Structure formats: structure tokens, C-alpha cells
């Protein structure tokens, strides 16, 4: 299959690599140019429009809503190169509201639109174990599912276009609040004089156990805050949550609080820290740092 892949950063490059190694002809585009490791097997294009002209399916993996809009609808964007029957798949994490607007414009060209944001970070992208949350028609989902199976392990057709992005926003809310809960618990334990590593080990055998306690709790104790998933990206996702909630008339008070903790970290130069470093904002308020394990 001829597949176009736009956005070859930390996540996009290994994802495109999996498609290439599976035998697909992959057309590549990135504003900074395709990584050298992909050029031997992939085919570089000069702009998104060219990618769309020579591909059956066009995948986008870019940072934010304006980036998707530009890739799709700029003068030499994807829309300019599409023809009827093609599929546009956005695997970025962007606004559910904007996603539905983009889909309407692409569908007017006789093409299908699929939103399929992912969870699992750089590790999941490299290992092809991403969770993929899909918003699409049944027909479009059936066409792209074999592609997703090369990129991830947990592939869920959530519903119609936009529902994938909605699921991803919900995921990011839950992740942020769980990071905050783990940070508070371990900070409390350490300040009270207990060994936070042993407390974490004890909690892993009980109802408080979680993947975040396992992975990010260890990061907090060992002070390993190299990303991972950067605070600046999680802030972007919580902005999507809060703006969408405002449009829906829904209050998300603890999401707003988690965002303020991320904002505090960013103000201290930590926008590029792993999101587990949210604990640093709480440590600053407590004037106490969890001891190294």
C-alpha cells in the first residue's frame, strides 16, 4: 500500500519506520526533513500536497491543532493533493471540535477522515505497542485497521469522527490527576519519615497500584525526569480538555489544578521535563524533596 506520513518527530519517525519495515511504500514529509535513518527505505516528498497525490492513505503525526490545520489546508497542504476515495488519518492529539471541522472539509472532497490519537509515548511508538483510539465510520476503520495493527496493540474503535480525540483528552485528564495523586502520596510518606521507595513497593500490592505508580513513582524517587512525555505536551492536552469542557459547560476543577502544577514547573524552566516532574511543584510548596532511591 502507498502510505503518506507527515510529521517525523519523536513519535512519528519510529511509527513510519514500522510501516516501511512491513513492506509498505511510505512517502515521507517533515518540515525539518525526514530523519536520515528513514531515507534509505522511505521516499521523501517536498510538501504535504505531494504526499497526498501519491498516497492512498495519508497519516499525520504533528504536535497541535494549528499544525494539523496547516498540514491539511495550507496552499501546498494535503487537501490540495487529494482525490476521491483516499483516507486522511490524523494520529496527532488535537481538539475534538476542530477535528470534526477538519473532517467536514476533507469529506467534501470525497475522502474519508479518521482521527486516531495514541497513548504510550516514545517507548510505545518504538515498540509498536501504542494504544490507538479511533474515531471513524465502520468502513474507514476497516480499511485502516491493518495499518494500526503495525503500530499498536490496543486498538479501539471508539465511535464517529472526533470520538478518538475525545477519548485521548479523557486519557490525559486521568493520567495528569493520577500523577498528581502519586506525587502527593509519595511526598507525604517521605516528609513523614518513611522510605518512599518501600512505601511505593507496598502500595504496588494494593488497591492504589497503577502503571503510573509503578513507572512515574519510580521516576519521582530516583529523580529521573528526562522525557518520556514532556510537560509542555501534557499542558497542551490539558488546555484542550479545559477549553473543550468550557464549550460543553462542564467543570473540571482538578484538571485545572493539575494544569497549574504543570504551569509552575514550566515557569521554573521545566517545560521539557517528563510529566512525572509535576512532583517538583508540590515539593516546592512543601519545601521538601523526596529522597533519592
Nearest of 121, 112, 123, 72 to residue 93 by alpha carbon: 121
The dihedrals phi and psi of 113, each to the nearest 5 degrees, come to: -125, 130
Nearest of 79, 19, 76 to residue 43 by alpha carbon: 19
The dihedrals phi and psi of 135, each to the nearest 5 degrees, come to: -115, 120
What's the gap between Cα 149 and its chain centre?
17
Report CA-CA distances (Å) from 168 to 69, 81, 238: 19, 29, 11
What's the gap between Cα 98 and its chain centre?
16
Instruction: Give CA–CA dist 258/251, Å, rounded.
Output: 14
Nearest of 134, 129, 138 to residue 166 by alpha carbon: 134
Instruction: Give CA–CA dist 4/54, Å, rounded.
Output: 8
168 tagged catalytic:
yes
Catalytic residue among 126, 145, 168, 222: 168
Instruction: Give CA–CA dist 208/167, Å, rounded.
Output: 23
Q: Quickly tell me which residue has 487537501 as its cell.
A: 79
Ramachandran assignment for 110, one of left (phi > 0), alpha (psi -120 to 50 degrees), beta (any other): left
Known catalytic residues are 168
Amino acid at each position: 500500500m502507498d502510505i503518506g506520513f507527515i510529521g517525523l518527530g519523536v513519535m512519528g519517525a519510529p511509527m513510519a519506520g514500522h510501516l516501511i519495515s512491513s513492506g509498505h511504500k511510505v512517502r515521507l514529509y517533515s518540515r525539518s526533513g525526514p530523519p536520515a535513518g528513514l531515507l534509505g527505505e522511505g521516499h521523501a516528498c517536498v510538501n504535504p500536497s505531494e504526499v497526498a497525490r501519491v498516497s492512498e492513505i495519508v497519516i499525520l503525526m504533528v504536535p497541535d491543532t494549528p499544525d494539523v490545520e496547516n498540514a491539511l489546508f495550507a496552499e501546498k497542504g494535503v487537501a490540495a493533493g487529494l482525490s476521491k476515495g483516499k483516507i486522511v488519518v490524523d494520529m496527532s492529539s488535537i481538539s475534538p471540535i476542530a477535528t470534526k471541522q477538519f473532517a467536514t472539509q476533507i469529506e467534501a472532497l470525497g475522502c474519508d477522515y479518521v482521527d486516531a490519537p495514541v497513548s504510550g509515548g516514545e517507548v510505545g511508538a518504538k515498540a509498536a505497542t501504542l494504544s490507538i483510539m479511533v474515531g471513524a465510520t465502520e468502513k474507514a476503520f476497516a480499511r485502516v485497521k491493518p495499518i494500526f495493527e503495525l503500530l499498536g496493540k490496543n486498538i479501539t474503535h471508539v465511535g464517529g469522527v472526533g470520538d478518538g480525540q475525545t477519548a485521548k483528552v479523557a486519557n490525559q485528564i486521568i493520567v495528569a490527576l493520577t500523577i498528581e495523586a502519586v506525587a502527593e502520596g509519595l511526598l507525604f510518606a517521605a516528609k513523614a519519615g518513611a522510605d518512599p521507595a518501600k512505601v511505593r513497593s507496598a502500595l504496588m500490592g494494593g488497591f492504589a497500584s497503577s502503571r503510573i505508580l509503578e513507572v512515574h513513582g519510580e521516576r519521582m524517587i530516583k529523580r529521573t525526569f528526562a522525557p518520556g512525555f514532556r510537560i509542555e505536551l501534557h499542558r497542551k492536552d490539558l488546555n484542550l480538555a479545559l477549553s473543550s469542557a468550557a464549550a460543553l459547560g462542564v467543570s473540571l476543577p482538578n484538571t485545572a489544578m493539575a494544569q497549574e502544577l504543570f504551569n509552575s514547573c514550566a515557569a521554573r524552566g521545566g517545560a521539557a521535563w517528563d510529566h512525572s516532574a509535576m512532583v517538583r511543584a508540590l515539593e516546592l510548596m512543601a519545601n521538601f524533596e523526596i529522597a533519592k532511591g
